[in-house]
A and B are shown apart, each in its own frame.
Chain A
Amino acid sequence: KNEVEQSPQNLTAQEGEFITINCSYSVGISALHWLQQHPGGGIVSLFMLSSGKKKHGRLIATINIQEKHSSLHITASHPRDSAVYICAVSGSRLTFGEGTQLTVNP
């Protein structure tokens, strides 16, 4: 079993829909990261959080330390949100989930 599990692996949505991507982890962590990888391959860090909730624009990230679970929400999704979203946890090193491929259709 991977230390970081994401679901779903693939997600297709219509423009405007509310999207949720989930991440569960099985190790002790100091922080959890949400990353966005665009088709060209470059990765951008969206959030780093160790408790509670963070919001940036239409993106919201939450973490429940007791349940070892985090969610990334996208409100009013748009085709430009189409990307791979990766969850990663900081322990002794950064451990990555396999990513969620999101496609938002117009």
Chain B
Amino acid sequence: DGGITQSPKYLFRKEGQNVTLSCEQNLNHDAMYWYRQDPGQGLRLIYYSQIVNDFQKGDIAEGYSVSREKKESFPLTVTSAQKNPTAFYLCASSMSRGTQHFGDGTRLSIL
């Protein structure tokens, strides 16, 4: 079945480490998105990509980086510059500006 796969489901990071969250989709969607969710807040956009080899910063891009080398994949790296990385991260994809389809999320915690 088509869908979005995020891995891992739970991730732990030590102080000063970079970690990469995986997002893969087999829906043949052009656009992909990364969101961060914190308790009591709506989802906030970190980065998005509307086409391979191109991506744009969202509202809270500082401390994060992405790449879009393949249509199916949009990995997110949480760098050591992100001072408060503990959160739930959701990846989504869509056809152009159509309905976004979401993955099951990755919960990142700091050790």
Contact = CB atoms under 8 A, between A and B. Distances in A.
B101 A41 contact: no
B86 to A, nearest CB: 14
A98 B60 CA distance: 17
Contact of A48 (B88, B90, B99, B102): B99
Interface residues of A, number: 22
A93 B43 CA distance: 12
Contact of B90 (A43, A88, A93): A43
Query: Secondary structure at chain A's binding surface: helix, strand, loop or mixed?
Result: strand
B100 A41 contact: no
A33 B99 contact: yes
A40 B104 contact: yes
Contacts of B101: 45
Nearest to A93: B45
Contacts of A35: 102
Contacts of B107: 41
Nearest to B101: A45
Interface in B52-111: 58, 88, 90, 92, 97, 99-105, 107
28 contacts: A2-B42, A4-B42, A33-B100, A35-B102, A40-B104, A40-B105, A41-B90, A42-B102, A42-B103, A42-B105, A43-B102, A43-B105, A44-B102, A45-B100, A45-B101, A45-B102, A86-B42, A93-B45, A93-B48, A94-B33, A94-B45, A94-B100, A95-B42, A96-B42, A96-B43, A96-B44, A97-B42, A98-B41
Interface of A: 2, 4, 30, 33, 35, 40-45, 48, 86, 88, 90, 93-99
